[in-house]
């Protein structure tokens, strides 16, 4: 007979959920992980991983097209969308098998099914064969994720979500992407790189409003130079169908004819399953939690997109770790651990050039009352960038002039996302400029760009003539 009593049941097998389950085992608990579809959630199966696999394919195609500048002559090369799709599918399958093995290794029991709360300590699980089992648990961690929003449109119009666009059988000729957040920008870049004529619409004054304004504006310029038509401060009023195509009506009176439209206009939390528990929901439907991910029901915790709406996988994983620790503490002592430090979560966009935000933007720092000092370092002065021919973009560091504490690191450039770890260490650990600059960085490497920006903050730039506004020590 299947086990019916568990220390904690985790509902949702995406990054936030499976992290919580693994950490629960490591805290000495017996977790059950329930997933209604495929392990890995949206990120692995329909989001982060397949999109980044396709973006990588597009980058390879771009490298082949421009290989002659490096003395490599490629004749007769052509792109194969189905082949790229196959690569993305293999990537997803490989990581999904790895996740299944990982969970077995850690001793996490996984059931496939739909979970519905009967009470705070009892769940009804509907399994794939239709049978229903009831399990009891001391606590639950809800990681039910989110679903993509969709704008109203004519039912015959070819309008797709950001997830559906990754699985097209063929590429369109003309494409309209609605939404200038990370998903919209990445998809616009992907399809433009593969030869699709792309128009990117954003209702706000700039793309990527959560990014530092300088980074966002520079990236918009880069996208336009690559051939993407970027239009901001434009709202979509309606989407009609015409001869199997879409006609997008914009607030400025223009109309856009397209073979396909992608709605990348945010996501809504899958919080409906928690309503029977009576937990407090925010106005946007996200679940209200405290710093330890605890809901208004003391033994119910929530992590990931169901809390943040359209959050990040890595942010959800960090929340999953916190929730597992909090559940273990709560079950053993009936209290939560001391308040944790706020999470500093990176925000990255995987187009070309890539963009990274870590910590406060310049505008946020000024609003926060800091006496702000900033510096920038252009990649064209970095040896590692020059040898690869990828010199577009810059590093920008925001610091507090009074304490020299690093408040934010912002990067635009090739492979910028892989610098998020160093940037995170500088910001999350409250590093000062003077201490951070003492780290010896490999030459040549992109990490040197952060060091150069730090030197500039001290007023003693090395490979740049630009200084910050603070005085030389």
Active-site amino acid positions: 443
398-412 pLDDT, tens digit per residue, is 999 999 999 999 999
Task: Determine the Cα–Cα distance for residues 347 and 312; give it in Å rounded to an integer.
Answer: 8
The answer to whether 175 and 162 are in contact (CB under 8 A) is no
HEC sequence for 408-447: EEEEEECCHHHHHHHHHHHHHCCCEHHHHCCCCCCCCCCH
Q: What is the pTM of this model?
A: 0.95
pLDDT tens, 120-155?
999 999 999 999 999 999 999 999 999 999 999 999
The yes-or-no verdict on residue 225 having pLDDT over 70 is yes
CA distances from 133 to 1, 5, 61, 344, 405 (A): 11, 12, 50, 40, 54
Placement of tokens 């982060």 in the chain: 48
Identify the helix (H) or strand (E) that includes residue 231. Answer: strand 229-231
Average pLDDT, the chain: 95
Q: Are β-strands 394-400 and 372-378 bridged in parallel, bridged antiparallel, or unpaired? A: antiparallel
Q: What is the pLDDT of residues 167-211, one digit of tens each?
A: 999 999 999 999 999 999 999 999 999 999 999 999 999 999 999
Q: Is the pLDDT of residue 258 over 70?
A: yes
The binding site for FAD comprises: 52, 144-146
> Residue with structure tokens 């990537």?
91
Selection from 132, 126, 179, 109 nearest residue 151 by Cα:
179
pLDDT above 90 for 471: no
Relative to beta strand 354-359, strand 347-349 is antiparallel
Question: Which domains, and CATH codes, for the chain?
Answer: 5-147+268-333 (3.50.50.60), 159-264 (3.50.50.60), 353-457 (3.30.390.30)
The pLDDT > 70 percentage for the chain reads 98
């Amino acid at each position: 007979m299947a086990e019916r009593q568990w220390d904690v049941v985790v509902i949702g097998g995406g990054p936030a959920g499976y992290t919580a389950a693994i950490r629960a085992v490591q805290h000495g608990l017996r977790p059950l992980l329930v997933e209604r579809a495929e392990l890995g959630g949206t990120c692995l199966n329909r989001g982060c991983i397949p999109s980044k696999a396709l973006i990588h394919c597009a980058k390879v195609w771009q490298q082949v097209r421009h290989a002659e500048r490096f003395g490599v002559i490629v004749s007769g090369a052509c792109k194969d969308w189905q082949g790229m799709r196959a690569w993305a599918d293999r990537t997803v399958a490989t990581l999904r098998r790895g996740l299944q093995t990982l969970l077995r290794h850690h001793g996490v029991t996984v059931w496939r099914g739909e979970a519905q709360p009967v009470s705070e300590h009892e769940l009804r699980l509907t399994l794939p064969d239709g049978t229903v089992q009831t399990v009891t648990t001391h606590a639950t961690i809800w990681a039910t994720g989110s679903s993509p929003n969709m704008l109203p449109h004519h039912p015959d119009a070819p309008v797709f979500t950001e997830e559906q666009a990754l699985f097209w059988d063929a590429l369109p000729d003309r494409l309209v992407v609605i939404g200038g957040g990370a998903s919209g920008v990445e998809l616009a870049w992907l399809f433009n790189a593969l030869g699709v004529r792309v128009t990117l619409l954003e209702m706000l004054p700039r793309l990527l409003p959560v990014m530092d304004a300088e980074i966002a504006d520079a990236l918009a310029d880069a996208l336009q130079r690559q051939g993407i038509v970027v239009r901001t401060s434009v709202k979509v009023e309606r989407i009609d169908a015409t001869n199997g195509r879409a006609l997008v009506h914009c607030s400025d009176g223009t109309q856009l004819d397209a073979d396909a439209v992608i709605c990348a206009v945010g996501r809504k939390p899958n919080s409906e399953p928690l309503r029977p528990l009576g937990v407090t929901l925010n106005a946007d439907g996200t679940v209200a939690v405290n710093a330890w991910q605890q809901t208004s029901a003391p033994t119910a915790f929530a992590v990931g997109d169901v809390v943040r709406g359209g959050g990040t996988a890595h942010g959800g994983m960090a929340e999953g770790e916190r929730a597992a620790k909090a559940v273990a503490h709560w079950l053993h002592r009936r209290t939560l651990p001391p308040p944790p430090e706020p999470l500093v979560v990176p925000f990255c966009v995987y187009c070309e050039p890539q963009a990274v935000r870590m910590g406060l933007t310049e505008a946020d720092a000024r609003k926060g009352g800091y006496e702000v000092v900033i510096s920038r370092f252009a990649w064209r002065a970095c040896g590692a960038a020059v040898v690869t021919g990828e010199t577009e973009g810059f590093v920008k560091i925001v610091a507090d002039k009074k304490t020299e504490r690093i408040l934010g690191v912002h990067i635009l450039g090739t492979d910028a996302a892989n610098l998020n770890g160093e940037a995170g260490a500088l910001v999350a650990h409250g590093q000062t400029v003077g201490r951070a600059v003492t780290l010896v960085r490999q030459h040549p490497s992109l990490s040197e760009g952060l060091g150069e920006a730090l030197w500039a903050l001290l007023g003693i730039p090395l490979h740049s003539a630009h200084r910050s506004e603070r005085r030389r020590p």
